[in-house]
Structure 1
Amino acid sequence: MIKAVFFDIDGTLVSFKTHRVPDSTKRAIAILRAKGIRVLIASGRQLLAINNLEDLQFDGYVTLNGGYCIVGEQVIYKHSMPSEDMVSLVRYMEEQESFPCIFVHENAFYINYTNERTNEIFRLLNFPQPPVLPLREAAEGEVFQLVAFFTKEQEKAIMAAMPHCEATRWNPLFSDVIPKGSSKQVGVDKMLDYFGISLEESMAFGDGGNDVLMLKHVGIGVAMGNAEDEVKLAADYVTDSVDEGGIEKALRHFGVI
């Protein structure tokens, strides 16, 4: 029996077209909650940047691709970027090539500068534009994730400067850079341990490259119809797109609701 369901946000719960949660998904979540099934977020976003879930209620949040997990007011797990990698990245950006980068802290996020690519993503995701700070100020202190606007071709050289981190990409314009050992899979495990639920009793929905490990890991992994091909291959089941009621249909398909 499924006792916990994890949802990615962008492209899974929330439509890229409307920036809203479909009514069918709201219905499905209400049924899950009424049945006592834990309803959980698993997102690359920071909690402060989750601005598109309307009035929906969740039992916990796996944020920053598993690097920061919260239940109510309690932080149950966090994993920040190694300081030596941050120093190395700043040196690389000052001496080799600069690119826009969002530095995600525990309770804030900053960007060193914006351009057409960043603005395109902010529009696509209906994402709040971070305050702009000089590079060294933006990178100062404990950082949990980078949203780095470099291309796939630039990625190898840039990531060589950050040997204790890895990049996960779900859009050609940017990568989420996280410390090695962080992933939505890890966040799922932390959340299930907290609630005393087994992996076999879990289900997850996703559409992007940062969802692959999670979908392979849970009891039932569901890829949205709008997902990338690698995500569909990793899933146990491919449902319809977010705009076609894919979440509700998959939950009914498996008899969860």
Structure 2
Amino acid sequence: MKYKLIAVDIDDTLLNRKKEISPITKAALLQAQENGVKVAVASGRLPYGVRPFAEQLEVFRYGGYYMGFNGGAIMNSRDELIGKCYLDSKYIEPVYDILRPANVTTMVHKGAKIYADNKVNDYTHIESDVIGLPLNVVDDLPSFIDWDIHKFLIAGDPAELKQLEQQLLSKLGDEVDIYLSAPWFLEVMPKDANKGEGLKKICDDAGIDIRDAVAFGDSFNDIFMIKAAGTGIAMGNAEDALKKVADRVTDDCDRDGIAKALEELGIISN
């Protein structure tokens, strides 16, 4: 089979648990691109937080892509926006009405800024710490939002988030996408704004049959992409739900699972 595109999630997939791209994984993805295979970096992070990893992998040199907001914003190698999707403003109040009583922090993004309500918990600062952007706290978040948002990012205790996920699905599940992107992160996205749809847009733009795409991921928000790709690969450290829908399971992110799978598929040579 002739593979033409590799899509990689960032956290606990491309990055090891030290939050680094290992030299072996980087070399493998560079070799794949030298062999004519494009690379797309896909994440739930805002594009500002995705671009540095695209730079490390030299996707701008090789004509690749990067995707933020789980497919809500898709950029090509010229930093042109080729796909975008926003959460309809009519859902701001209904979503927040469910979140308001809970001990969770609700966040939205604007450009390279993160805004949050004033309910601070142990998980509040993970997003800002990981991508290196300050958290701007506002008292009345729904009233403060006067721009098109890509998503709600909700941070809190994993057990409470699972309960909130079911409440949101019960009331709004037919109208918006709701899923965990990490045990401590729950996301509310526009319907069909996910990594799977994002991968389809990238393949369409690149003139690639999605059956010739390989995708790597580890968490719930990667399921769409893993199912959409011709070959979906779960990391060894992936959630069981993702492993069940993957075509194969590779080694974990600390053992260069991406590089090993690319070699097994014949995309690169040792």
* Length-normalised TM-score, structure 1: 0.89
Q: Which residue of 2 aligns with 1:206?
A: 217
Q: Which residue of 1 aligns with 2:149?
A: 143
Q: Which residue of 1 aligns with 2:30?
A: 30
Q: 1:65 Cα shift?
A: 1.0
- Structure 2: state its 5+ residue gaps: none
| Pairwise CA RMSD | 2.2
Q: 1:141 Cα shift?
A: 1.6
Alignment of 1:108-187 (within 5 A): 108-113=113-118, 114-119=120-125, 125=130, 128-134=133-139, 135-136=141-142, 138-149=144-155, 151-160=161-170, 162=172, 164-187=175-198
Match of 2:234 among 223, 231, 234: 223
Q: In 1, Cα distance between the equivalents of 2:66 and 2:131? A: 19
Partner SS for 1:39: strand
Q: 1:28 Cα shift?
A: 0.5
Q: In 1, Cα distance between the equivalents of 2:142 and 2:102? A: 15
Q: Which residue of 2 aligns with 1:44?
A: 44
Assess if the C-alpha contact under 8 Å between 1:7 and 1:40 holds in 2.
yes
Listed one character per residue, the Cα deviations across residues 24-63 of structure 1 (whole Å, up to 9, x for unaligned) are 1111111012112111111111111237637332211122
**Taking every aligned residue pair, what percent have the same amino acid on both sides?**
29
Comparing 47-56 with 26-35, greater Cα deviation is found at 47-56
Listed one character per residue, the Cα deviations across residues 91-118 of structure 1 (whole Å, up to 9, x for unaligned) are 4455x44631111235533111332122
Q: In 1, Cα distance between the equivalents of 2:66 and 2:126? A: 26
Q: In 2, Cα distance between the equivalents of 1:235 and 1:127? A: 32
Q: 1:223 Cα shift?
A: 0.6
- Structure 1: state its 5+ residue gaps: none
Q: Which residue of 1 aligns with 2:265?
A: 254
1:191 corresponds to 2:197: no
Which structure features the higher share of helix residues?
2
Match of 2:110 among 105, 114, 118: 105
1:210 and 1:92, CA in 2 relative to 1: closer, same or farther beyond 3 A? closer
Q: In 2, Cα distance between the equivalents of 1:239 and 1:41? A: 18
Listed one character per residue, the Cα deviations across residues 186-227 of structure 1 (whole Å, up to 9, x for unaligned) are 000100000100012111100011111211221111111111
Comparing 200-209 with 155-164, greater Cα deviation is found at 155-164
Which amino acid is the alignment partner of residue 65 of structure 1? N
Q: In 2, Cα distance between the equivalents of 1:165 and 1:85? A: 9
